Copies of this chain bind each other. A is one copy, B any other.
Amino acid sequence: MPNVHVAIIGAGGVGKAFISQLAGYATRNPSASLATILISRSSKALVSRDYSPLNLNSWSQDLASAAATAPLAYPTEALEFLKAAPGPVILVDNTSDESLAKSYPLFLSNGIHIVTPNKKGFSSDIGLWKDIYAAAANGGNPKGGYVFHEATVGAGLPVLSTLKELVETGDKIEKIEGIFSGTMSFLFNSFAPLDGNNGGKGFAACVKEAQQLGYTEPDPRDDLNGLDVARKLTILARLSGLEVASPTSFPIQSLIPGPLESAKSADEFLEGLGAFDGDMTKIKEEAEAKGAVVRYVGSLNVETKEVKVGLQTFDKGSSIAGLKGSDNIISFYTERYGGNPLIVQGAGAGADVTAMGVLGDLIKVLQRLK
């Protein structure tokens, strides 16, 4: 097999972790003949014009040196560079860039493989989803590249691979339910813990604490609006056979009180949130009166075609209520598994476990190139 060329776009938290894991993998598996030919950030790039391998140990310094150039223009200039590589190319998109995702069909139809934790391509308009899979080898195009995106849901947890295997082997998905956001998991585990005692903290104080500990986006509204969870549900629904038009085409319960949607900053938002603590406390206490806890979940039902994201109460003995820290949990209810679902649980966010999901996908491509 000729060299397999790896082109990496995005070198932030996940990108850095990915490059480090890729370097380890390449060292342990010299026969995989991996050559990284592109490492690109938003303002600078390392481009190996002769397709010889970039140095994965000094890339960070090299990006700051005279060796760095301006990034290739997407998609045309990048496509020309990658198409001319003397062997297979795997494009690793470690960004969350929607415009790059819109070029996936072009790259794939030119035989370039794609692995990515970027949700945008798979959770935006259904038209883009269809174009991506129509262009891909694993969507029916024999000349296309492979596309894998395990880390778009649950980071490194085996969520999409498990769902695909259930479907491919002929099981019938009935329902998928779970906690898909590390932020929401942490937030409700601290606001409404199993033992009911959180030291009297209101919801706003819990949000502020989560923000300070780095569990939320810089502006917590980007978590509390529910869109991140809705994007993950969109991906799961589509892989389960439901044609979800977009991540906003089903009910999403936002935890941002209406009057605060227009708050001018995260601080102003957090300032105002305390005034709504009573509403959340009431929901929490109503759940407790029934021996339950409130959690922020996503769920889909294949038969009723219902997809939804929002607050629900769960019996204290349930797996969802028992979740700890910022873990995710995903329960697959299927015909074969019957009443007790197949469950996958663990950290669903973080640079290392996300990068692991991306590298796992890259290995899946390598296995198909032999």
Contact = CB atoms under 8 A, between A and B. Distances in A.
Secondary structure at chain A's binding surface: helix, strand, loop or mixed?
mixed
A166 B337 CA distance: 25
Size bracket, chain A contacts: 35 or more
Interface of A: 21, 24-25, 28, 156-158, 161-162, 165-166, 168-171, 194, 317, 319, 322, 324-325, 327, 332, 336-347, 352-353, 356, 359-360, 363, 367-368, 370
30 contacts: A21-B169, A25-B169, A28-B170, A156-B336, A156-B342, A158-B158, A161-B161, A165-B363, A166-B356, A168-B360, A168-B363, A169-B359, A169-B360, A171-B356, A319-B319, A319-B345, A325-B340, A336-B347, A336-B352, A337-B346, A337-B347, A337-B353, A338-B347, A340-B346, A340-B347, A343-B344, A343-B345, A344-B345, A345-B345, A368-B368
Given A158-B158, A170-B356, A342-B346, 10 more contacts: A25-B170, A156-B169, A156-B336, A156-B342, A158-B344, A166-B356, A169-B359, A169-B360, A340-B346, A368-B370
A346 B341 contact: yes
A168 B360 CA distance: 8
Given A28-B170, A168-B360, A370-B368, A324 B336 contact: no
A128 to B, nearest CB: 25
A168 B317 contact: no
A350 to B, nearest CB: 8
Contact of A161 (B158, B332, B352): B158
A153 to B, nearest CB: 14
Contact of A367 (B156, B157, B347, B368): B368
Contacts of A352: 336
A363 B368 CA distance: 12
B319 A336 contact: no
